[in-house]
Amino acid sequence: MLQLVDITLHRGSARLFEHLNLTVHGGHKVGVAGRNGAGKTTLFDLVRGQIAPEEGEVLRPQAWRLAWLAQHVAPSSRSALDFVQDGDRRLRRIERDIAQTGADGDGHALASLYAEYEDAGGYQARSRAGEILSGLGFAAEDFEKPHRAFSGGWRIRLHLARALLTPSDLLLLDEPTNHLDLEATLWLESWVRKYEGTLLTIAHDRDFLDRTVDTIAHLEDGQAAVYSGNYSGFERQRAEALEHRAAVHKKQQRRIAEVRRFVDRFRAKASKARQVQSRLKALERMDVAAAVYAESPYRFAFTNARKISNPTLSVDAATFGYGQQAVLTDVTLRVYPNDRIGVLGANGAGKTTLLRALADELPPLAGEVARGRHATVGYFAQHQLESLDLARSPLAHMEESASASTSQQRLDYLGGWGFRGEDAARPARTFSGGEKARLVLALLACREPAVLVLDEPTNHLDLEMREALAVALQAYRGALLLVSHDRHLLRRCVDDFWLLADGRVSRYGGDMDAFAALCARPKRESKRPPKAAAALGIRRLAREQEALEARIERHGQAVAAIEARLAAPSSTDRDELARLAQARKEELAAIAHCESAWLATEERLEAARNRGPQNAP
């Protein structure tokens, strides 16, 4: 088991943990909850041994292997597939030993190393890495791209894939769903449920927590309280505990008031002196329960527009895309003042493209987009976090807002968004991703938007902020278009759905749960009868295998040609020999990659043939 025993730790002069105790039994899956600043990530650093407590100790079995989701890794020239496999340090060590032993010519040692390699799952490593990358949304053509070629969000996905591939008994996942779309989140949920080790995760996606953890460790006031069950169960248990604490506190306050009235009444009477002193001592000894403060630290609303056009947005026969590349075609739609629309679709289907077009950030390649006279759009997207003036504070940003005319009004408004005291005056460059997101939303909310266009607004937001955002969106009277992988937010705030697929936008008649179930199913060919789709899938996989076999043959011929040149008596130029050796190494690596892909395709093909067109549902 993992144990944190009597942990005390300060951050500067502020107490973070004081005599904290936490026990996590092997095989349990624990969600670590608590407000921002409660010490969730610091707890992970303690478990990893990155920092040491001032008092107490962290205990875990020496045999336990530890893996974690790294948030920051230096850009690497390693391919995505190699970067992910590098997480299996034992396997990489065996591979180095095999290379060295092969050069030394020690046949017995080499045989032993190959047995160890097989035992470590070396022959399946590339296939497993490919499966994880596919599950997290990477296309096959991305596998050979260098790590440094990916954007920040996709690099985090690579770091997550590396953590999942790393053999572990204890896995630490800090915000694993932040940069995932819904399909990747559902895949990760399935993977976590099958994970046989011990899990600690910090997540602000309540659906993810509800579906993956069996315990919640709640950090508050320097302590850790453990609750059995998922996040929804924790909320119910905590609400009951808070109600009990409130009742105890109220009862104690009545008792304290009675004692004080007695003391005040009889303090001057000598005959009552003993009773007075007794009650004063009882008052001093009384363990007063802490007052319950269960309110959210956030209290805000989106300012409603005074006038709203009807319809607010009209799109007719439009094509949206970039340059000459169309992403969405023949788009015709209307957005009315009270619409609450969730935009659904697979990664790459064009959700952000559509929202950018509706927000007037992307002109149509064809067709027409019309906006009503009173249809001011409030647009939120992740890139806007970095477009903030990082030298300016929230208060300075707010000075441009006409809706808060006095400094105190601006301070009060920012306080509702969690920027209180010195936080309102801090430059934005010192803010976390969550604080920047809150500031962008705060600036957007006070501008009286008639239409809110929100692209993944909950990334980096904690659970309390997400709940406050849901409440504010429910009260908002304008139109709402929302892209989010937060299923709870979509359920709370959306009435209708648009589905983006095959370059088209259509109405989706199901609810969020039906769409999640659809995403979780194995992909089939769309718009074809199931039996025809199954037969087509078999033919496509067979063609993939044929193409891979042709590539293996070509690379094999290249290796043979290189080896012939290396063996030629005239091969004496050292630079030329080094170049040929490197070329041979690259060709062999390409063969290994193709063979791994062929094996993975063979497994899929065998499974498809076993199902067969005749067995298709």
Domain 2-79+125-234, architecture per CATH = 3-Layer(aba) Sandwich (3.40)
The model carries a pTM of 0.71
490: number of Cβ within 10 Å: 24
Kindly indicate the confidence band of residue 131, based on its pLDDT and cuts at 50, 70 and 90. very high
The confidence score (pLDDT) of residue 365 equals 94
The topology (CATH level 3) of 313-520 is Rossmann fold (3.40.50)
Largest CA distance in the chain: 120
239: number of Cβ within 10 Å: 11
The confidence score (pLDDT) of residue 612 equals 53
Whether residue 583 is predicted with pLDDT greater than 50 in this model: the reply is yes
Mean pLDDT of the chain: 84
The confidence score (pLDDT) of residue 17 equals 93
Is there a contact between 125 and 164 (Cβ–Cβ < 8 Å)?
no
pLDDT tens string 160-194 = 999 999 999 999 999 999 888 888 999 999 999 99
Q: What's the rounded Cα separation, in Å, for the pair 322 and 403?
A: 36
Which amino acid does the sequence have at 199?
A: L
The confidence score (pLDDT) of residue 278 equals 61
Is residue 80 classed as helix, strand or coil in its secondary structure? helix
Please state, in angstroms and as integers, the Cα–Cα distance from residue 120 to each residue in 27, 91, 159, 198, 379, following that order: 21, 7, 21, 20, 50
pLDDT tens string 419-454 = 988 889 999 888 888 889 999 999 999 889 999 999
What is the H or E stretch that residue 307 is in? none
pLDDT tens string 319-368 = 999 988 899 999 999 999 989 999 998 878 899 999 999 999 999 999 99
pLDDT tens string 509-567 = 887 878 877 777 665 444 444 555 566 567 667 777 777 777 777 777 777 777 777 76
β-sheet bridge partners, residue 378: 452
